[in-house]
């Protein structure tokens, strides 16, 4: 089963990359294309997302808002785990029911994707995926089968009540929502928190819960969404190949001889990888083992090195083709190209500030002083030339006018595949590539699962006129644009402490965009302010993923890592102040292209 899931996931991701590439080739040579290629790619993203979510559940890697359950032991840990997993199983079972009802309705409609392939056939992966999630969450709820069966029986009873459309009174709805929120505090997966809120809110209003599945489908088959898995795949191929070693060699050869050179190499390497992988945790895991010895050998204290790695790991999200930029553009309905351009100057500012902080931490007298070795630098550049060209490939495809954003992402992924498998031969086609693609799909599946159910919750808020009420209240309370931006930063810093960047984007952005418009704030300026706040969230407990990954990678207690990373938080907060007060940092480049 494990091998089959990995193979199916790899095949879906591979087809997503090949179809747009074939479209480019046919358009350039025969001036034609593949009928329905874009629609097929979008539905392959749906398949890959649910397969990836199933793999994430299998590996116990579904994203959670809290890790409280991991801090408990004994009977309390067993009770808390049973409670959180039981709530998760109930929500997953309701999502299975909602998606099954949605697919049955779509089947009656008789729509096709292309070549006679019915839409409902691709949509059927939704109930299949949620059924697998339900079963795997139930297996993890307890260590014995009677308790697991009891969990499934309770979930089946709740799903039966929902299927019969039994009314949910206010008291019961409040109790259900309270249970979902309590489970979130103790470590239930994020998708069950957002999905549970959406489901019980719809149910309490007498609305069909199939609307949540419809929103999930609409989110995942968004025309631009395949960019997320494709750019992430490129980053994973680089990280799992020899690119980390070669690029660190380049940066160290060019910068390592100067004071603070090791910090500069660390910052640049981390920013490069995070911009493509879309996950700073991947950067810390992939590069940490090489960068930590580099920093220590340059005379950095271990605490300083830990802080640098945790802080540098959050860099790159604002540099094209960063996943946060793509996601924000999708949710706020902004042009992808404008978002990429808007992120460049603020992203480089953050890189420069962390690099300057690294220079300040550097010992006054390096342990070993060496002159610049231009022969080594030339050899390192030649060895890494194909990987250094990767950003040029992405930008040339995107801004050269011959590829759509999704096609540019596909070209980037295929380019990374070719250089790592056939040019450098760091990855074996048979043994390594399926493993790497499964790891990429695991991350993508977990993220898209959150995005899909979060859209259902967001749409409930929109249907309840929450954004309009919020605009009226804020406009009546705050009369200054700058005061609004100050209040927004405080709110987002708090939100970043309890929400991961993916769910925060889907839930909060539809509420904030009308507010920004009411105060005359440029949409791109608002976007960058939001994303810089979310980058700070990587360094703030309890959701600060960089803190967890750094602690895990180097075997350090979480409080020790947090204290080491605290200066990096304040350094990046300086960038937030600059971006807030100087809108042109975000808007100058997009305006130049118009």
How does DSSP assign 125-146, residue by residue?
Answer: HHHHHHHHHHHHHHHTT-SSHH
CB 496 within 8 A of CB 532: no
Interhelix angle 405-418/390-399, rounded to 10 degrees, is 160
pLDDT > 70: percent of the chain: 95
Q: Does the pLDDT of residue 504 top 70, yes or no?
A: yes
- Inform me whether the pLDDT recorded for 91 exceeds 60: yes
3-state secondary structure 366-401: CCCCCCCCHHHHHHHHHHCHHHHCHHHHHHHHHHCC
Q: What is the mean pLDDT of residues 312-339?
A: 89
Contacts of 97 (CB under 8 A, 6+ apart): 159, 162, 163, 209
- State the Cα–Cα distance between residues 387 and 46, nearest whole angstrom: 29
Q: Is the pLDDT of residue 367 over 60?
A: no
Residue 466 has pLDDT above 90, yes or no: no
26 or 526, which is more confident? 526
Examine the pLDDT at 66 and tell me if it is beyond 70. no
| Residue 409 CA: distances (Å) to CA of 233, 433, 503 | 9, 18, 23
For residue 552, pLDDT beyond 70: no
Count CA within 13 A, CB hemisphere, residue 317.
28
The band of 160, judged by pLDDT with boundaries at 50, 70 and 90, is very high
What is the mean predicted confidence (pLDDT) over 22-34?
85
CB 195 within 8 A of CB 453: yes
CA distance 101 to 197: 19
366 vs 446, higher pLDDT: 446
Q: Comparing 260 with 68, which gets the higher pLDDT?
A: 260
Task: Give the count of alpha carbons within 13 A of 567, CB side only.
Answer: 17
pLDDT for the residue 47: 94
Mean pLDDT of 345-352: 95
Does residue 47 contact residue 55 with C-beta atoms inside 8 Å?
Answer: no
SS3 letters for 493-505? Answer: HHHHHHCCHHHHH
Average pLDDT rounded to a whole number, residues 358-381: 74
Rounded Cα distance between 374 and 277, Å, is: 30
Alpha carbon separation from 558 to 66, 193, 338, 565 (Å, rounded): 13, 24, 38, 11
Locate the domains of the chain by residue range.
2-220, 230-428, 444-592
The pair of structure tokens assigned to 593 is 């292209």
User: pLDDT by residue (tens digit) across 486-503?
Assistant: 999 999 988 887 777 888
pLDDT at 350: 95
Q: How far is CA 540 from the centre of its chain?
A: 17
Are 427 and 237 contacting, i.e. CB atoms less than 8 angstroms apart? yes
The pLDDT score that the predictor gives to residue 362 is: 83
């Amino acid at each position: 089963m494990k091998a089959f899931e990995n193979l199916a996931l790899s095949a879906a991701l591979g087809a997503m990359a090949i179809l747009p590439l074939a479209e480019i080739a046919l358009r350039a040579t025969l001036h034609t294309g593949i009928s329905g290629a874009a629609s097929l790619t979008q539905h392959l993203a749906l398949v890959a997302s649910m397969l990836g979510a199933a793999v994430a559940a299998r590996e116990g890697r579904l994203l959670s808002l809290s890790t409280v359950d991991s801090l408990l032991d004994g009977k309390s840990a067993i009770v808390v785990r049973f409670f959180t997993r039981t709530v998760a199983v109930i929500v997953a079972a309701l999502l299975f029911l909602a998606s099954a009802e949605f697919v049955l309705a779509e089947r009656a409609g008789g729509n096709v994707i292309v070549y006679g392939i019915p839409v409902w056939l691709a949509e059927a992966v939704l109930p299949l995926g949620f059924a697998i999630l339900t079963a795997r969450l139930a297996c993890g709820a307890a260590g014995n089968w009677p308790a697991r069966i009891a969990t499934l029986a309770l979930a089946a009873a709740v799903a039966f009540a929902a299927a019969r459309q039994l009314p949910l009174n206010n008291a019961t709805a409040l109790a259900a929502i309270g249970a979902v929120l309590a489970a979130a505090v103790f470590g239930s997966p994020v998708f069950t928190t957002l999905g549970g809120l959406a489901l019980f809110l719809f149910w309490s209003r007498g609305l069909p819960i199939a609307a949540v599945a419809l929103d999930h489908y609409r989110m995942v088959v968004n025309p631009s969404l395949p960019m997320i898995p494709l750019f992430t795949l490129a980053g994973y191929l680089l990280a799992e190949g020899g690119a980390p070693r070669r690029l660190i060699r380049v940066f160290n050869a060019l910068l390592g001889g100067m004071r603070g050179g090791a910090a500069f190499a660390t910052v640049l390497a981390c920013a490069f990888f995070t911009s493509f992988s879309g996950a700073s945790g991947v950067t810390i895991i992939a590069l940490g083992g090489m960068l930590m010895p580099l920093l220590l050998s340059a005379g950095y204290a271990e605490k300083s090195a830990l802080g640098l790695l945790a802080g540098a790991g959050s860099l790159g999200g604002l540099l094209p083709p960063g996943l946060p930029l793509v996601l924000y553009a999708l949710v706020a309905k902004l042009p992808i190209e404008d978002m990429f351009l808007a992120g460049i100057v603020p992203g480089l500012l953050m890189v420069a500030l962390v690099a300057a902080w690294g220079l300040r931490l550097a010992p006054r007298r390096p342990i070993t002083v060496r002159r610049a070795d231009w022969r080594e630098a030339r050899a390192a550049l030649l060895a890494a030339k194909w990987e250094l060209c990767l950003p040029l490939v992405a930008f040339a495809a995107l801004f050269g006018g011959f590829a759509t954003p999704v096609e540019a992402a596909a070209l980037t992924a295929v380019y990374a595949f070719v250089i790592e498998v056939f040019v450098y031969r760091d990855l074996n086609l048979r043994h390594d590539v399926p493993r790497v693609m499964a790891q990429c799909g695991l991350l993508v599946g977990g993220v898209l699962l959150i995005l899909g159910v979060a859209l259902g919750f967001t749409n409930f808020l929109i249907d309840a006129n929450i954004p309009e009420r919020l605009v009226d209240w804020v406009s009546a309370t705050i009369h200054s644009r700058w005061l609004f931006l100050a209040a927004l930063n405080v709110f987002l810093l708090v939100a970043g402490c309890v929400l991961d960047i993916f769910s925060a984007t889907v839930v909060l952005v539809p509420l904030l965009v009308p507010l920004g418009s009411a105060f005359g704030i440029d949409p791109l300026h608002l976007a960058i302010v939001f994303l810089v706040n979310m980058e700070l969230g990587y360094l703030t407990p309890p959701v600060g993923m960089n803190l967890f990954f750094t602690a895990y990678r180097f075997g350090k207690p979480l409080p020790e890592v947090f204290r080491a990373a605290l200066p990096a938080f304040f350094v990046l907060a300086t960038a937030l102040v600059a971006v807030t007060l100087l809108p042109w940092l975000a808007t100058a480049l997009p305006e130049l292209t118009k």
